[in-house]
Structure 1
């Protein structure tokens, strides 16, 4: 394939795989915490980091990581301690981050409208070797946290009070989730773009929930969908000259629609089966029989 002969496409495809893995891996915790739009807020803040990178002539990916981590920690602290005016503080943080990024890029010597667009919506041709190294290191950190601490992160995402009672460091884990989400935004911005990165963190997870009933299965299916749409979107962008970020997100939404359509009749069939089973006399020792309650894990969807 001629696509694989291009050095920039080789870098883009590797980056796409890393993005497809990391975004849903963190997104599953954000969805469970009902913070699906957190990635969008971090993306706004990361724009200031990109602007600082151009202004200071440093790698924008590393600078965006630093600024987005600071922003994510601030967001988590506002969520934890903010009261009636917490939403106003978050809005000022988001809008200030985006405005600061646009301002800094325009006053820098190396910034331009093209640079801004590539970070907002993603670009295949602008991924340099140093960007790929930065993305790889950051992706390794994200996966180390997401997989190595998956039990603790799931517990605190599911029920903070219960996690606190069991002795887990809830505050530290909440901050770690925020930091990991910020790093994920920096990983994905070169492919998906800062304005669309939140969609890749959420939509594959929502699609996976339509066909899976456990955390492990949801995690695996979401990552599979993420990698598939990232590669398909990147390939389509190369051959059709369309924005990679928008293409990837639209493909992810398409997968969600298809899986939802397939899951609906299956759920109805299961419901009818349960009603039929409830209307017959249960055999002792069988699932659902008196004295043999169903396990919570049979019905809980992560």
Structure 2
């Protein structure tokens, strides 16, 4: 461990892993609540266009990807809000077009500059090559994401559970929906150098799904997901250094292994609790959220105000 920490690039890699381990699940829990688990994957496809523009104009690909991701996320949210039947087709065109456009721009850039541009480090991540400038960018964007997702947790939880009720209570639903989409875009940009755009959605979703196996309240799930995100990110980077393996895939595979382990442990415990549970009387306002969409028990509209405690 001492030898590993003696290298500057490993110190930067571990710091970046911690930041991404926090930000990805912090945003991902809201996407899981809204059944938009693959939104991060779609934004990642769009991010490749920004990376390609960065190569073409010889500017920082991360900042260019951020601009394109934010624009793409806003378009995705507007399409979702309209509820148009053709929305899925429009989003598919946006996703695949973003990836194809990114590859095309990188090729044009390589031809015009005589270089050999490559998207591999952005597709699969390249955390060991994170520069001090990249680390500052990741840190600044990460702080913005954490401040938004934790500072507005109650309001975001409310709109994820029931938009109509949240709107009636005076919460600016449309604005928060747009800000949540933008925050997801920022998170994709933050995680791009760590796990790559093709795997970023996994780090946003899998720790949340793993935490759901052991927790029942929204706040506990969010805290556990962030903790798991940090642990698997650090363990993935450390293990990949020792075994000479790619860090991005190692982080994601480790997260999936943790999910499988917790699922195996939680299943018999849940059956035992159900078997020994006392018969309950009729409940008027109880609505147990499905496992896929959340981990909380919502007791009517008041839950949007109090359950996120």
Same fold (TM over 0.5): yes
Q: For 1:42 and 1:106, locate their aligned partners in 2 and report how far apart those are by CA, in whole Å.
A: 21
Q: CA deviation at 1:124?
A: 2.7
Q: For 2:241 and 2:209, locate their aligned partners in 1 and report how far apart those are by CA, in whole Å.
A: 27
* 8 A contact 1:233–1:251 mirrored in 2: yes
Q: For 2:219 and 2:144, locate their aligned partners in 1 and report how far apart those are by CA, in whole Å.
A: 20
- Which of 265, 271, 279 does residue 274 from structure 2 map onto? 271
Q: For 2:162 and 2:168, locate their aligned partners in 1 and report how far apart those are by CA, in whole Å.
A: 10
Q: CA deviation at 1:298?
A: 9.2
Q: For 1:298 and 1:89, locate their aligned partners in 2 and report how far apart those are by CA, in whole Å.
A: 33
Q: Residue 166 in 1 paired to residue 169 in 2?
A: yes
Where structure 1 has 5 or more consecutive residues not aligned to the other structure, the ranges are 279-287
Q: For 2:114 and 2:26, locate their aligned partners in 1 and report how far apart those are by CA, in whole Å.
A: 34
In the other structure, the counterpart of 1:262 is 265
In the other structure, the counterpart of 2:295 is 301
Q: Please list, as runs of the form range in 1=range in 2, the aligned pairs for 1:274-293 lying within 5 A after superposition.
A: 274=277, 277-278=278-279
In the other structure, the counterpart of 1:281 is none
Deviates more, 1:40-49 or 1:51-60: 51-60
* 8 A contact 1:214–1:297 mirrored in 2: no
In the other structure, the counterpart of 1:211 is 214
Q: Residue 185 in 1 paired to residue 188 in 2?
A: yes
In the other structure, the counterpart of 1:65 is 66
Q: Please list, as runs of the form range in 1=range in 2, the aligned pairs for 1:107-256 lying within 5 A after superposition.
A: 107-108=108-109, 109=113, 112=116, 115-256=118-259
Q: Describe the superposition over 1:5-25 as per-residue Cα deviations: whole angstroms up to 9, x where unpaired.
A: 111111111000000000000
Q: For 1:44 and 1:11, locate their aligned partners in 2 and report how far apart those are by CA, in whole Å.
A: 26
Q: Describe the superposition over 1:236-269 as per-residue Cα deviations: whole angstroms up to 9, x where unpaired.
A: 2212221111111100000000101110111111
Q: CA deviation at 1:301?
A: 2.3
* 8 A contact 2:237–2:251 mirrored in 1: yes
* 8 A contact 2:127–2:195 mirrored in 1: no
In the other structure, the counterpart of 2:302 is none
Q: For 1:159 and 1:244, locate their aligned partners in 2 and report how far apart those are by CA, in whole Å.
A: 38
* 8 A contact 1:213–1:298 mirrored in 2: no
* 8 A contact 1:105–1:111 mirrored in 2: no
Compute the TM-score of the two structures, normalised by the length of structure 1.
0.91
Q: Residue 77 in 1 paired to residue 78 in 2?
A: yes
* Greater radius of gyration (CA): 1
* 8 A contact 1:55–1:110 mirrored in 2: no
